[in-house]
Amino acid sequence: MRRIIIGAFVFSLLFTGCKSMQKMKNEEAAEPAKQEQAETKVFSVAEPEQPKTPTEQTAPTSTYQAPIKPVRTQTETFTFDQKDDATRYQGSTFFVIIGSFSSVENANKYKQELIPQGFNPIVLHSETGYYRVCVNSYANETAARQRVNQIRTDFPKYADTWLLIKK
């Protein structure tokens, strides 16, 4: 009985070993074929485009537009960092925020960086303690959302621009 078990074990080892050897040989044989494919270059010649007759209808081509990321909104109470901004933005409810900082110094530095790029930023002091750098304000939410999406499109580095709603 012992001999039969040992014999079966040895036979199974030889059988599985042969399969792995055969698999390795198949992979080695496939390797040169892959190299030949990589070395073979295919050239194609494009046919010149035929002029279209006025009666031919061409399908309109569409351009790909990346999906619009939803606009993040947050509602909070805030004060204007400078008093003259409060009178200038009176009646606005929706503020386009391009940056948020825990220190007023960093907010003012960022504000100065935005001016050469065509923005007219102001700093808002939030009830949460953060200093929000605002680039536009609107009384209409739709217009504010459109401006956020425009900034995201025109300035990809400001893709995290969001909307602050005044309480």
Report pLDDT for 23: 55
Fold assignment, 73-166? Alpha-Beta Plaits (3.30.70)
Radius of gyration (Cα) for the chain, nearest Å?
34
Domains in the chain: boundaries: 73-166
pLDDT tens-place string over residues 119-147? 999 999 999 999 999 999 999 999 999 99
Report pLDDT for 28: 55
Q: How is residue 146 written in tokens?
A: 């459109």
- With H, G, I as helix, E, B as strand and everything else as coil, classify residue 125: strand
pLDDT band at 86 (very low <50, low <70, confident <90, very high): confident
Report pLDDT for 158: 94
Cα 108–chain centre separation: 28
pTM: 0.59
**Beta strand 94-101 with 162-166: parallel, antiparallel or unpaired?**
antiparallel
Mean pLDDT of 39-68: 51
pLDDT band at 69 (very low <50, low <70, confident <90, very high): confident
